[in-house]
C-alpha cells in the first residue's frame, strides 16, 4: 500500500494562487453612452459594433404583455378564492 503524500498549507496556497478571478472589463456603448461589458450586445439599446442587433422596443413590449397576463391571471385567481 502506498503512503499518501501530504501537501503543506504553503504548497496548497501556492497552487491556488492562480485560481483568482479577474475583474471584467467594461466599455462605453457608442450609441447610448452606457457602460457595458466588452464584446456583448448593449442591454440598454440593443446595438453591437454600431449595428442594431436586438429590437429593444419589441423586447420591452413583450415583457409588458407578459406582466399584464400575469396580473390578469392573479386577479382572476384572487376572485375565485373570495
Integer Cα distance of 64 and 62 in angstroms: 5
What pLDDT is recorded for position 28? 95
Percent of the chain with pLDDT over 90: 66
Integer Cα distance of 55 and 62 in angstroms: 11
Per-residue pLDDT, averaged over 45-66, amounts to 92
C-alpha distances out from residue 38 to 11, 59, 80, Å: 36, 22, 50
The pLDDT confidence band at residue 4, using thresholds 50, 70 and 90, is confident
Give residue limits of the domains in the chain.
Answer: 22-81
Tell me the pTM.
0.54
Amino acid at each position: 500500500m502506498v503512503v499518501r503524500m501530504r501537501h503543506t498549507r504553503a504548497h496548497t496556497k501556492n497552487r491556488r494562487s492562480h485560481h483568482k478571478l479577474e475583474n471584467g472589463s467594461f466599455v462605453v456603448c457608442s450609441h447610448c453612452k452606457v457602460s457595458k461589458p466588452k464584446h456583448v450586445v448593449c442591454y440598454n439599446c440593443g446595438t453591437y459594433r454600431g449595428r442594431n442587433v436586438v429590437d429593444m422596443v419589441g423586447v420591452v413590449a413583450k415583457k409588458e404583455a407578459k406582466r399584464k397576463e400575469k396580473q390578469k391571471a392573479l386577479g382572476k385567481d384572487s376572485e375565485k378564492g373570495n
